Amino acid sequence: MISVIIPVYNLERYLCRCIDSVLCSSYTDFELILIDDGSTDASPQICEDYTERDSRVRLLRQENRGVSAARNRGLEVCQGEWIVFVDGDDSIAPEFLALIDQESRHDPDLMLFECALTEKDLVPRNQKESIRYGKEDKLTLVQSTLTLRQLREQGNVDFLSVWARAINRTAIEKYNLRFSEDLFCGEDAFFNIEYLLRAESCAYIPRAVYLYNIHRDSSSRRFNPRLPDNHELLLHKVKQALEEHGALPALALPYHTYALNMLTSLLFRCVFSPWNPASFREKREMCRRFRSNEIFRQAMRHNRQCSTWNQWGFLVLFRLRCYRSLSLICRILHLVWGRKGIC
């Protein structure tokens, strides 16, 4: 059996499409666990309606504690051999769960699939063979998670989320892995890294099975003044996990890449965001804080090796304290990308 876990918080506009996509799966031996994380809209009633229609649907309720706590609640009660996480504003392909059942005969610890931006991409023109990775390849997979380097040309594995993948429940229970509830952003990537460091085998099935919905009210796209605290904690947790498994020496440059990507994101989405109400002096103090962070300081020494050319130039301006130039660049990019629906 496969356990599909969906955290739910104020998703009345998208929830029916998401649940229907799971219930319409060609593979039928699954349980669908809905965790209502203290919704204040019609989401709880929608969930109740589905539990009455289909015995495979279970509803759990909790006070609002965040997506990590909701997923952890699902992990505590799920009974399937395989675990799939779906966000309540996304949807899956009808064959997703069937592909998991098919690949499970090879007994991997993890299955990776691809994501799609449009429904037509969910049905690939050509069937592609799965690629298998052993214990000796785990650092390659962790490196891809840190650097976002795809496993094949034109691939679309989302390494930063737990979307489009199947996780072996036995491994989850063996190592008592859970999502970090003290993180509100990046908790998926940290969970993935912790799992990969312990995984013995992985199957990569280059099929687009997960359709994510990009919308402007997504929590990951809003300005959040707590982001610096979150990201600094996340960097520390990732480094600690790599050190505990003896992987940091081999993955030093990928980790620096991860840190530089995080620094770039903080400058763009937080410090110099057009929606940041802080004064320019306060923004300058935030930059000073990042400059004194030892992880960022070490990563900046490898900027040329670890960054794309445009990111390298962006961070050179940061190193030279050209904050007004950075502010102007970020404002322009937010304006242009906002019109295109990118941010």
List, for residues 123-136, the tens digit of each pLDDT value: 665 666 899 999 99
Output the pTM of the full model: 0.93
Report pLDDT for 342. Answer: 58
The average pLDDT across 289-312 equals: 96
> Is the pLDDT reported for residue 273 higher than 70?
yes
Per-residue confidence (pLDDT) for residue 119, from 0 to 100: 84
Q: Lowest mean pLDDT: which of 27-31, 172-176, 296-300?
A: 172-176
Residues in a beta bridge with 8 = 36
Q: Provide the mean pLDDT of the chain.
A: 93
- Residue pair 119/93 in contact by the 8 Å Cβ criterion: no
Q: What percent of the chain has pLDDT over 90?
A: 89
Model pLDDT, residue 208? 94
Task: Please say if the pLDDT value at position 215 is more than 90.
Answer: no
Average pLDDT of the residues in 224-248: 97
Please tell me the predicted confidence (pLDDT) of residue 40: 97
- Nearest CA to 261 out of 213, 218, 310, 294 is that of 310
pLDDT band at residue 90 using 50, 70 and 90 as cut-offs: very high
For residues 340 and 273, the model is more confident at 273
Contact between 257 and 145 under an 8 Å Cβ cutoff? The reply is no
Whole-number pLDDT of residue 37:
97
* Range name among 209-223, 255-269, 326-340 with the lowest pLDDT average: 209-223
Sequential DSSP letters for 53-68: H-TTEEEEEE-S--HH
Q: Which two tokens stand for residue 335?
A: 């304006």
The amino acid at residue 258 is: Y
pLDDT of residue 250: 97
How much is the average pLDDT of 83-105?
96
Q: Say which DSSP state 269 is in.
A: I
Given this model, what pLDDT does residue 118 score?
86
What tokens appear for 75 in the block?
């992990």
What is the model's pLDDT at position 328? Answer: 96
Is 154's pLDDT higher than 90?
Answer: no
> What integer pLDDT is reported at residue 233 of this predicted model?
98
**The pLDDT of residue 124:** 66
Q: What is the pLDDT of residue 304?
A: 95
| Residue 194: partners with Cβ closer than 8 Å, 6 or more residues away | 177, 241
